[in-house]
């Protein structure tokens, strides 16, 4: 039987593969700047490339240092998360799944930066005049992973009390 942490590596690899397939489809089937409503006034399929970080921060920077730091910090985070899983320091199952989702999403966005110099985003949500910046499957995995970790942190005390009872 494989070590328990190995299943989480498979989850991270599945996120990476699904992210790459979805971005490949957008990159091959649409031109940058593409926009088509999926659900009118709520969700649009788009094709954007974000050279910066979340929400396009630093995307206008021409500095190669920003790009280098983004690649370096992404790689460091992926290595740290992998170590947490393999070393058994990932907490309960919620955090283990969360760490795997974050690692897979970070790896997907890192691969995009290495291949294209920026991250391909393809889904944009809106409500009325509010428009959420475009994102991708990797971003979704990172968000869900963070939510799982926060859930475990917030529910940890009640679980500890139940375990003592």
Q: Residue 105, Cβ neighbours under 10 Å: how many?
A: 26
Estimate the crossing angle of helix 4-29 against helix 137-164, to 10 degrees.
Answer: 160
Among residues 152, 32, 38, 133, the alpha carbon closest in space to that of 95 is found at 152
Burial of 40-53, coded b for 16+ CB within 10 Å and e otherwise, reads eeeebbbbbbbbbb
Beta carbons within 8 Å of 145's beta carbon, 6+ residues apart: 97, 98, 99, 100, 101, 102, 105
Residue located via tokens 């989850």: 11
Catalytic sites, residue numbers: 121, 139
Alpha-carbon 112 to chain mean position? 12
């Amino acid at each position: 039987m494989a070590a328990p942490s190995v299943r989480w590596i498979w989850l991270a690899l599945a996120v990476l593969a699904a992210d790459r397939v979805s971005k490949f489809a957008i990159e091959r089937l649409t031109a940058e700047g593409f926009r088509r409503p999926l659900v009118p006034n709520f969700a649009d399929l788009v094709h954007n490339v974000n050279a910066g970080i979340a929400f396009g921060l630093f995307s206008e920077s021409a500095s190669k240092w920003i790009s280098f730091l983004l690649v370096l910090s992404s790689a460091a985070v992926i290595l740290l998360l992998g170590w947490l899983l393999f070393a058994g320091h990932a907490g309960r199952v919620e955090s283990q799944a969360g760490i795997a989702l974050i690692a897979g999403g970070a790896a997907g966005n890192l691969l995009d930066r290495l291949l294209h110099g920026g991250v391909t985003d393809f889904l944009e949500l809106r409500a009325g005049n509010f428009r959420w910046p475009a994102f991708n499957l990797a971003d979704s995995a990172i968000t869900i992973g963070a939510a799982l970790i926060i859930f475990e942190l917030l529910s940890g005390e009640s679980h500890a009390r139940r375990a003592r009872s």
